[in-house]
Structure 1
Amino acid sequence: MVLSLWRYAHLALAIISSIFLIILSLTGVVLSINAIYEKTPDLKVENFDQVNLAQVIPKLQEVYPEIISLSVDHRGFVSIDAINDEGENVKGFIDPNSGQKLTEITQQSSFIQWTTALHRSLFLKETGRWIVAIVSFLLILISISGIALILKRQKGIRHFFDKIQKDFFAQYFHVVTGRWMLIPILLIAFTGTFLFLLRLSAFQGEEQEVDVKLSETTDENSIPVADFPVFKTTLLKDVEQIDFPFIPDDPEEFFIVKLKDQSISVNQINGSLAAQTMFAKQKGWERWNLDMHTGRTNMLWALILGIASINILAFIYTGFVITIKRAKTKIKNKFKAEQGRIIILYGSENGSTLFYANKVHQQLLAAGEKSYLTSMNQYELFPQATQLLVFTSTYGLGDPPSNGTKFSHLLNQFPQQQHIDYSVIGFGSTAYPDFCAFAMQVDESLAKQQWASQYLPIHLVNDRSMDDFLNWVNAYSEKSLLPVATVASVYAEKQKKLQKWTVVEKTTVTDDNSTFRVTLKPLSRVSFNSGDLLAIYPANDQRERLYSIGKNNGLLQLIVKKHEFGLGSCFLHNLQANEVLKARLMPNRAFNLPKKAKEVAMIFNGTGIAPFLGMIDENTRQAKIHLYGGFRTENCWIKEYQDFAQRKIQQNRLSDYHFAYSRHTPGQYVMDLIARDATVFAALLKNDGIIMICGSLVMLRDVEKALDQIVQELNDKPLAFYHERKQILHDCY
């Protein structure tokens, strides 16, 4: 709850001030560059910090018969307004040791003046200054709330600079650079706010006149300027401006010396103090804050401020990316909690884990399952549930994410009244000692519940590894026989745009055969391979249907079985020649024909033959391919497949083919063919060959059971051994 409050406060403050912060940051970058530019060339003399007025003024009076004023700016550059021996007015930067003029004084460009005005007041005069001050103060609060979030994430100040788990770039950049830019940004915000406050009368303070004992001015007590005691003790670096006496030798005319903390009047005859005014201490604060806010006195600090200003812009961008990412995954539940059969709980800090959970949820809904998705903090009684899937990340150093903090308490508060199978999927990074610690806690807690049984061992996903996640998807799909996609591109966060395809040919179903073929031609240049997937959206909504494709002479080929009320199959069957179809091509490299495999066995049932037809046709390097398939009955389509296989055998693109028919007498299944050729499959796997399987999940389970028995008997290895070596590839539904 506390974490959520800090996060919402951080977000709300950022939203309120974002537009103004963008303006102030952009202008801040420009002004920091200008501050660096103004320091070049460096006109500050080497002994500037040691030379005093008793050394400087006499030398200048030798060079210039009449001096009006001498100024020292924030950069330590000394400028003069004087008249030379030729009676010419001299204005420019000088070397105070010699009086030599170095360069003219240049005015700020109109662009910098415009930028400065925009930065200070947004061109709104006093109203704009108030807005800038408020935004600066909000930036302080944003920084403080950001610190609080990092402290919560890192479990205190001791781990403040420890490694940050990288969920995605925007989140990682936001946190890491936020830590390093913390001090500069806080100083920018604090000094900007303080400079405004110092303009208010309540903060300005008052100058203080100091009583000075005046001495009588006579010819006898006249001394040279070089011997003035006050000038000997006053360093040039402490001076802001000196106004010289208008009339030489006039005791009523004084040197008016404005220092950083006071103003003094010095008798030009005997060097005594004629007046002294101490500035309010707020003036010193103002100068320090202005130096820190602008970087005008130090090139390195100006550069840091510029980087910090750029970072503020980056923080705004990445902050909104994080927010959008958290919010973009829309949870759509067709069923209520009490109706759900498969309950999916998520614990997600930045939205990544929710994304994966929602992908699985949408596929289960599309398959007609009563799936219900909610956060772990919404755990309750689920009276119809038979499965519980928990997707959770770990926040900080082993803590639950913000929407999973209540789960342990709720788990004990709401014991389910029926038996439920559960599976836990943890997301984290092995770079941290507490890798998936919370997911492990959840798995242990569920194991202690009398009503719960572990459906699958806990699966841990390292750095959002697609292979790690697909390991769980494969295991779940095979055991549950539910059509959850095992293809990486289905779970890609950035999906490719829909492409346009022209229908070249579409066959029709017959009374004895419900299978039809669709041939498509891309309207734009698209690269694809047999085994990739085509995603269609029959109802122009989020409902997605995936089909494994074959490639034939540059055309995309689908083989589909028409179901009476099938959303995807009916849509495809109603397509007409030359009609344009919008669909998304999804690469499925894990199920493309292996380029280096010397021997491949392709096993399928029904429409699972589609990608294999394309792979065989593309087998120009003449790898040894065995084709094993199962059908219900022999029909005209089977004759076409047999003719195709015969042609490819003659072209050395196929070694042999074997079909089984379950409705013939006696009935035969593809598993029977595999058992018959057990030695072929055992030798193939032993010699690093590949087995590819496409078709129904039921067929996959039976085929793998048969293969496992074969390799254990003949190769003394479990099938899992070949799975790990990626010799078993499948795309089943």
Structure 2
Amino acid sequence: MTISIWRYSHLALAVSSFVFILLASITGIILAFQPISEQIQPFKSADFETITVAETISTLKQTYPEIIDVQIDANSFVLASVITHEGDSKTGYINPKNAQFIGSKLEVSPFFQWVTNFHRSLFLKSTGRFFVGLCSFLLFLIAVTGSILILKRQRSFKKFFSKIINENFNQYWHIVLGRLSLIPIIIITITGVYLSLEKFDFLPTSNTTHNIDFDAISVTPELNIEDFPVFKNTQLSEVRAIEFPFSDDVEDYYTLALTNQELVINQFTGEILSEIKYPLVAFYSELSLNLHTGKGSILWSVILALATANILFFIYSGFAMTVKRRKSKLKNKYKKEVCEFVILVGSENGSTLPFANVLHEQLLEAGKKSYITELNSYTTFNKAEHLIILTATYGQGDPPTNATKFLELLKTTQQPRTLQYSVVGFGSYAYADFCKFALDVDKAMQTKFKQFLPVFTINDKSVDAFKQWTNSWTEKIHVPVQIAEEKLVAKPKLTNSLTVVHKTDVADNPDQTFILTLKAKQAKRFVSGDLLAVYPANDYRERLYSIGKVNGHIQLSVKYYDNGLGSNFLNGFSLGSTFKARIINNAAFHFPKKAPHVVMIANGTGIAPFLGMLNANTKLKTVHLYFGLRTSESYKLYKSQIEGYLKTQKLARLELALSRDTNNNYVQNLLLRDSEFMAATLKNKGVLMLCGSLAMQNDVLKTLELICEKHQLEGLHIYKKNGQIQLDCY
């Protein structure tokens, strides 16, 4: 519930102010280039930081008969107004070392003046200034509520900048850029509010009126200007302005404006006649102006431009996520009181809702009465016989926003009959708490209802995995349901152009498996363990293959099926053929560089990423490979590559399981045989990596559970959470 409050606050603030924020952001980006255009001018002296006021004034006095004033701006440009020997008035930038003019005073271009006025007041004068100031404050609140949402997601301040998984483009970059832009945006908003308050006279004004006893002013002992202590001990970089005496009268004096105070100085003796410290409000006003505009710093101006550009992206991505959630709105044909099937959904960003909606629609088409609602809306269902729960997990194992009340509602809500239930969890292996909330729900449901199917978890919104669960569920319940994949998978942009550089013949392998080697234009964009997504029919249907990166190329191990959509597509290519695909980062299955040693477990279709990881094992980390195939003939396809790794010690040990040879060994048999080694691996923080078919995964995980029980180890879920068991099976 807390997350909902902050999310709705975040959204409400954005909706109420986005037009003003949009206009302010666009003009802000433009204005960020004004200080940059000033800074690149060659008007700053190379010796500026070391020159004293005494040197500058002395040089000016020697060069010009009369000096009006000297000003130093935020760019450290020295602007002097003088009267020349010819009697002409001249104003421009000088070199303080030799008093020579080096450029005319910079004037703000009409374009920047127009944009500045629009940025400050929208051409609405005081009314516009008020709304701009108000929107600065609202943007500050948006940044604060956004930060709170990230903290809720990450669960602690320490993890605020921890890595998050890219499951959705808009959500991922909204968070990543939000964290990177947070401090600049906070500074922009606070300074914007401060400057608005200053314009409306809400801040105290500073008084710099000097009280000078003119009767006490003396002309002795007279000193040369370069000997004035205050001028000798003051660097020009500390000065904002110097006003020179109008005449030689003793009542006229130097006014020296420093960064923190203003001094009145006797023009004859160098005595300080009056000294006024600037109040903090003056300091904050100048600081706010410089921080808000970027004056005096190219780097800060660029940061402001980037942060402001990010605000435009936040507007787009925030509304895109909101529209996506609303598009997935749940609709019902029947009232809950008459439905036998009830689908309960838990979703954070709306990505789980399409799966639930597709199942709901198919049940209706099959003539069943189905009701769909959020987990937070759990209540009494009078005619219900089956509960189907589809839920994601938020952040570090928490319930999603629309499921925060469910576990409490489950305790207090009574059903008129004992229901059968099934739980499907959606998550990503990249998170330590993979599908934790779904597992928590299943555990709670077991105390009240009858489990119809074991809890089923789905990685990265896999449509194939969802179809697998649906088939199991419909077979058991005897209801014909056909999942409409086109509603779940949108055809993405294929950004990677690939060329076939090597391909083995399917006919040469008894298992009809072939190796395909592809050259990618951007070799640095992928690593072994990432996924290659191909779209054979040029539609929504996606096929994923685990990537091995060998010598900069993509290597795939593909099992050919006569009617296989993906395998037929890939097998149809010859040397030199090109096609486009999508490479998906799969950080949860990259080689664990910090593990003391690694055990790789694969069958023929899962060996490719391991061959790539072994190829990259130049530091000779201890790696053991348990490899399951049918026959020794099957092994010939990989033999030269694997034996090469054994010879170079990139692979420490190979254990080959041949299921159709004399011993009829499966990988799980070898794991059970080496149970002490497997147990020691888990105890000593080693990592087990498993890649291949789902059938093999299920058998291997059952074996590992037996090993854990036998050796009194933690449950497998603990090792999965710790990243010691990594899975990539489809």
In the superposition, the TM-score normalised over structure 1's length comes to 0.66
Taking the aligned partners of 1:102 and 1:150, their CA distance within structure 2 comes to 51
1:329 maps to 2:333: no
Taking the aligned partners of 2:258 and 2:560, their CA distance within structure 1 comes to 88
Report SS of the residue matched to 1:128.
helix
Is the 1:391–1:424 Cα contact (8 Å) retained in structure 2?
A: yes
Is the 1:66–1:84 Cα contact (8 Å) retained in structure 2?
A: yes
One-letter code aligned to 2:489? A
Comparing 297-306 and 464-473, the one that deviates more: 464-473
Aligned residue in 2 for 1:227:
227
Is the 2:214–2:251 Cα contact (8 Å) retained in structure 1?
A: no
Aligned residue in 2 for 1:62:
62
Taking the aligned partners of 1:64 and 1:96, their CA distance within structure 2 comes to 13
One-letter code aligned to 1:93? Y
Aligned residue in 2 for 1:572:
none
1:242 maps to 2:239: no
Taking the aligned partners of 1:316 and 1:391, their CA distance within structure 2 comes to 30
Report SS of the residue matched to 2:251.
coil
Q: Structure 1 residues 103, 320: closer, same or farther in 2, change over 3 A?
A: same
- Deviation per residue, 1:346-398 (Å, 9 max, x gap): 01111111121112112221222111000111112222222211000111211
Report SS of the residue matched to 1:203.
coil
Aligned residue in 1 for 2:48:
48
Alignment of 1:108-119 (within 5 A): 108-119=108-119
Is the 1:198–1:282 Cα contact (8 Å) retained in structure 2?
A: no
Q: Report the alpha carbon displacement of residue 601 of structure 1 after superposing the two structures with TM.
A: 8.3
Aligned residue in 1 for 2:199:
199
Q: Structure 1 residues 481, 97: closer, same or farther in 2, change over 3 A?
A: same
Is the 2:341–2:370 Cα contact (8 Å) retained in structure 1?
A: yes
Taking the aligned partners of 2:49 and 2:25, their CA distance within structure 1 comes to 34
Aligned residue in 2 for 1:492:
489
Aligned residues, how many? 529
One-letter code aligned to 1:366? E
- Deviation per residue, 1:58-86 (Å, 9 max, x gap): 11111222222211111111011223344
Q: Structure 1 residues 219, 268: closer, same or farther in 2, change over 3 A?
A: closer
Taking the aligned partners of 1:344 and 1:219, their CA distance within structure 2 comes to 95
Aligned residue in 2 for 1:398:
397
Is the 1:155–1:397 Cα contact (8 Å) retained in structure 2?
A: yes
Q: Structure 1 residues 219, 322: closer, same or farther in 2, change over 3 A?
A: closer
Aligned residue in 1 for 2:375:
376
Taking the aligned partners of 1:723 and 1:173, their CA distance within structure 2 comes to 32
Aligned residue in 2 for 1:459:
456
Q: Structure 1 residues 444, 723: closer, same or farther in 2, change over 3 A?
A: closer
Aligned residue in 2 for 1:263:
262
Report SS of the residue matched to 1:474.
helix
Taking the aligned partners of 1:166 and 1:353, their CA distance within structure 2 comes to 16
Q: Structure 1 residues 332, 83: closer, same or farther in 2, change over 3 A?
A: same
Q: Which runs of 5+ in 1 are unaligned?
A: 497-583, 591-595, 603-610, 622-682, 688-710, 727-733
Is the 1:209–1:276 Cα contact (8 Å) retained in structure 2?
A: no
Aligned residue in 2 for 1:417:
416
Larger Rg computed on CA atoms:
1
Q: Structure 1 residues 21, 589: closer, same or farther in 2, change over 3 A?
A: closer
Aligned residue in 1 for 2:430:
431
Q: Report the alpha carbon displacement of residue 283 of structure 1 after superposing the two structures with TM.
A: 0.9
Taking the aligned partners of 2:107 and 2:341, their CA distance within structure 1 comes to 73
- Deviation per residue, 1:413-460 (Å, 9 max, x gap): 2233334332111011111111100001111122222xx332222221
Alignment of 1:179-578 (within 5 A): 179-207=179-207, 209=209, 211-212=211-212, 221-247=221-247, 249-449=248-448, 452-486=449-483, 488-493=485-490
Aligned residue in 2 for 1:158:
158
Is the 1:69–1:81 Cα contact (8 Å) retained in structure 2?
A: yes
Q: Structure 1 residues 60, 598: closer, same or farther in 2, change over 3 A?
A: closer
Q: Which runs of 5+ in 2 are unaligned?
A: 494-536, 544-557, 575-629, 635-659, 667-691, 698-730
Taking the aligned partners of 1:723 and 1:461, their CA distance within structure 2 comes to 12
Comparing 106-115 and 403-412, the one that deviates more: 403-412
Q: Structure 1 residues 13, 453: closer, same or farther in 2, change over 3 A?
A: same
Taking the aligned partners of 2:479 and 2:539, their CA distance within structure 1 comes to 20
In the superposition, the TM-score normalised over structure 2's length comes to 0.67
Taking the aligned partners of 1:264 and 1:64, their CA distance within structure 2 comes to 24
Taking the aligned partners of 2:538 and 2:40, their CA distance within structure 1 comes to 57
Comparing 267-276 and 439-448, the one that deviates more: 267-276
Aligned residue in 2 for 1:708:
none
RMSD of aligned C-alpha atoms?
Answer: 3.4
- Deviation per residue, 1:463-489 (Å, 9 max, x gap): 222232222223223333434334633
Is the 2:117–2:123 Cα contact (8 Å) retained in structure 1?
A: yes
Q: Structure 1 residues 351, 494: closer, same or farther in 2, change over 3 A?
A: farther
Report SS of the residue matched to 1:81.
strand
Is the 2:490–2:540 Cα contact (8 Å) retained in structure 1?
A: no
Comparing 270-279 and 64-73, the one that deviates more: 270-279
Taking the aligned partners of 2:125 and 2:418, their CA distance within structure 1 comes to 70
Is the 2:218–2:250 Cα contact (8 Å) retained in structure 1?
A: no
Percent identical: 40
Is the 1:331–1:358 Cα contact (8 Å) retained in structure 2?
A: yes
Q: Report the alpha carbon displacement of residue 220 of structure 1 after superposing the two structures with TM.
A: 5.4
Taking the aligned partners of 2:693 and 2:200, their CA distance within structure 1 comes to 78
Aligned residue in 1 for 2:681:
none
Taking the aligned partners of 1:178 and 1:57, their CA distance within structure 2 comes to 49
Aligned residue in 1 for 2:653:
none
Q: Structure 1 residues 482, 252: closer, same or farther in 2, change over 3 A?
A: same
Is the 1:44–1:78 Cα contact (8 Å) retained in structure 2?
A: yes
Is the 1:245–1:268 Cα contact (8 Å) retained in structure 2?
A: yes
- Deviation per residue, 1:477-517 (Å, 9 max, x gap): 33334343346333125799xxxxxxxxxxxxxxxxxxxxx
Comparing 280-289 and 464-473, the one that deviates more: 464-473
One-letter code aligned to 1:141? L
Q: Structure 1 residues 491, 116: closer, same or farther in 2, change over 3 A?
A: same
One-letter code aligned to 2:194? F
Aligned residue in 2 for 1:174:
174
Comparing 404-413 and 218-227, the one that deviates more: 218-227
- Deviation per residue, 1:156-206 (Å, 9 max, x gap): 223222232433111111122212211111111111111222334442234
Q: Report the alpha carbon displacement of residue 109 of structure 1 after superposing the two structures with TM.
A: 0.9
Q: Structure 1 residues 69, 209: closer, same or farther in 2, change over 3 A?
A: closer
Q: Report the alpha carbon displacement of residue 270 of structure 1 after superposing the two structures with TM.
A: 2.6
Q: Structure 1 residues 588, 353: closer, same or farther in 2, change over 3 A?
A: closer
Q: Structure 1 residues 187, 455: closer, same or farther in 2, change over 3 A?
A: same
Aligned residue in 1 for 2:605:
none
Q: Structure 1 residues 181, 599: closer, same or farther in 2, change over 3 A?
A: closer
